[in-house]
Amino acid sequence: MGGVPPFRHSRSKVRRRRSQLGLEKKNITVCPNCKGPVLSHRTCPTCKTLVKKMRTKKS
Ligand SMILES: [Zn+2]
């Protein structure tokens, strides 16, 4: 049996926690096969080819 939280979280507390969830960078690269936008290290949604991560130069 899990513990029961003593108090309900307020709306701002929930939102402050949720605000940290979507912070990761989306590494969007271009598919070499169909030139569409793909997330790196994932297969292309249109042509199903694996797209490797492209290194971005830091200035
Ligand atoms: Zn593609």
- Does this model's pTM top 0.85? My answer is no
| d(CA 20, ligand 1 centre) in Å | 31
Strands 42-43 and 50-51: what pairing? antiparallel
| d(CA 4, ligand 1 centre) in Å | 48
User: CB-based contacts of 26: which residues, under 8 Å, 6+ apart?
Assistant: 39
| d(CA 36, ligand 1 centre) in Å | 6
| d(CA 23, ligand 1 centre) in Å | 26
Angle, CA of 59, 53 and 20, to the nearest 5°: 80
Q: What is the mean pLDDT of each run of 10 residues along the chain (59 residues)?
A: 83 90 78 84 81 63
| d(CA 16, ligand 1 centre) in Å | 37
pLDDT on residue 16: 92
